[in-house]
Amino acid sequence: MDNTKRQRLEAAGWQIGNTNDFLELSPEEANIIELKLVLSNRLKELRTSQSITQSSLAVLMKSNQARVAKIEAGDPSVSLDWLFRGLFCLGATNLDIAQLIIENR
C-alpha cells in the first residue's frame, strides 16, 4: 500500500495491520502456520515434479486422497506428522526439510 493511501485511511480512523494482527495470532502461532504452509507447498512441488497423483501419494502414505488434498491446501487440521510423512514418502530427507525450514525463516 502506498504511503498516501495509508495516511488517508489512518486519518479516517482505520487501523492498518496484517493477517496476524487481524487474527490476533501470537508470534509462535504465526510461525507454526508459516512453517506448515512452506512444508505443504514443498510437498506439492515434489509430488507434481515426480508426476505422482494425490491418490498415488495417498497409497504411499497409507491414507486417502482427501487427506493429501488437505495437506497441499494448508488445511489447519493437518498435523506436522502428516506433512513429514508425505515429504518422506516423496523422498525428502531430514536434511532437505531442515534446509527448507532454514531458507524460509
Q: Does the predicted model carry a pTM greater than 0.85?
A: no
Q: In this structure, how many other beta carbons lie within 10 angstroms of the beta carbon of residue 103?
A: 8
Instruction: Give me the pLDDT at residue 3, please.
Output: 87
d(CA 43, CA 86): 7
**57-86: per-residue pLDDT in tens?**
999 999 999 999 999 999 999 999 999 999
What's the N-to-C CA distance of the chain in angstroms?
24
**6-43: per-residue pLDDT in tens?**
888 888 888 787 777 778 888 899 899 999 999 999 99
Does 18-103 carry CATH code 1.10.260.40? yes
Domain boundaries, the chain: 18-103
Task: Determine the residue type at 60.
Answer: L
